[in-house]
Structure 1
Amino acid sequence: MTEGNFVDYVKMYVTSGNGGKGSMHLHREKFVTKGGPDGGDGGRGGHVIIRGNENLWTLLHLKFKKHVQAGHGEHGSKSRSTGADGQDEYIDVPLGTVVRDAESNDILFEITEHNQEKIVVEGGMGGLGNWHFRTSTNQTPRYAQPGIPKQEKEILMELKVLADVGLVGFPNAGKSTLLSVITSAKPKIADYEFTTLKPNLGIVQYRDFQTFVMADIPGIIEGAAEGKGLGHYFLRHIERNSILLFLIPADAKDIKKQYDILLDELRRYNPEMLDKDRLIAISKCDMLDDELKAELKVELDKELPIDYMFISSVAQQGITELKDKLWKMLN
């Protein structure tokens, strides 16, 4: 999927249907000039329903769909005939979509399963016909209920990428290069910061035809938790990953400091992110000779609190070991 086709934020105005009016009909036929009430009920207005679809990866199909209106319920009629219900409107979204109220920004619900359905605005109930209001003292009621009016709401839909492994690192750390080597994804790769502006997903082929999903997320900068750079725009995509793979280049001035800054940004955005399994990959290690690597290893063994590995995407060093390690952590 090209970067421009990845849409993960949509605003939409949704309206349900009005309930149909109940009928005030009085029964009339040949030789029956004063029949009793036989007005039917109005039909229910249509709902607007959000439905999960595992075949979708993006909200692109909703990018230009700004209004969704469900059908109105039909009015009741004679012979106690109930009006037809209004047509429900379905909005299909990818798994991992969070639906919010645009006015209050409150989360209404999340869609995480295929064919999961949630009503976002309910159709109005149909009104009761006059047949319901007959009594021993009022045998010909000449009134019926109106239908309940429609509901309207402006909603925000945010997609949080569902992936097994999320790549976390500063801009230009080599995340897109690793994704292009380890999967068949074709992310944009260039020698400048913020080449990646939208998340890229790739499927990693493992032994015995097993697979897992890896997400390349735009680079984090210091202050991202406050919204600096692309801030909140991409930090939400990391929330759904099972494992966080921190990518730090071997030529970084201070590897431990970079890891601490990245971890601190995640903690400030959402402390629960620190509960996820973590692994550090020291990228671009083809720039190091054996002696430098040995020196760095001694230093990192003392400083880093979690497991780390040396890899080089360009020279294909340590890639198989990295897959093995990630698979073991996932299972």
Structure 2
Amino acid sequence: MMNPVWTEKLRLFDQHLQLAARSPHTRKAYARDIAHLAELTRLEQPEQVNTIAVQRALAQLRYQGLSPRSIARILSSWRNLFHWMIKQEQLAANPCAGLRPPRAPQRLPNALSVDAAMQLLEHSSESKLDLRDHAMFELMYSSGLRLSETTSLNVSDIDLSQQLVKVSGKGKRERLLPVGSKAITALEKWLDVRGPHQEEALFVSEQGTRLSPRQLARRLEKWRQQSDCAQHVHPHMLRHSFASHILQSSGDLRAVQEMLGHANLATTQIYTSLDFQHLAKVYDGAHPRAKKPPKETTE
């Protein structure tokens, strides 16, 4: 339990949070995090907490196995407590100033292997809906389109003769992208059966309205099941697969950045990690000195 000095400080801080219309859930989280600080520092009062004490407390949280995200939230609670104390003229400086939580490990996007992508896209049928779906998924993989970019396309955005698609991406930035021959063939088949519509959308529903992102996602899951692809596939995975496979073949990060429509190269660099994983697998499987020796058996 906290000593009376910490308890009183927390009570006053909670009153401040209540006046600031913070939710009961948020206030409970603050109380829990500040109680954690009192326990970790073992100081008599909050005014005694300095930067070194906070650093030690953060180190203990990491030793306890808390995730970087949890530590970031706790540090934010501590920082806000001391900021309030400064405004109350109870503290001269914030001991959390300049301290950063540990970085969370970068989550790599899921991408299909080349074989899995081929299995997914080789499946097709001649029904009208399947022709539409095949054209959609071929185009997404062929040109690295986002889900929203795909459903926003109009018929006029496709140039079949030049094998190009005009895309309006984030921030309304337009880019002109090449379309592969497989996707062109699938688009030609779809446009042959699409029929005339008042709707300009390239991909329309059975009712003739623009296909929604949710509808596309549902159709992709159905398509995956019909193709017997064992791996779960979501729409953005086709874009990730496009980027990963292009980078594996070309090594041209700048070109991939342009095709994906990333404003910052750092956003694209995450795919270099995927590429390295691919190279590492090839190395482990091919290099004679990379393979682990068989385990010795004792008789």
| TM-score category (smaller protein) | under 0.3
Structure number with higher strand proportion? 1
* TM-score of the two chains, using structure 2 as the length reference: 0.21
* TM-score of the two chains, using structure 1 as the length reference: 0.19
Please say which structure displays the higher CA radius of gyration. 1
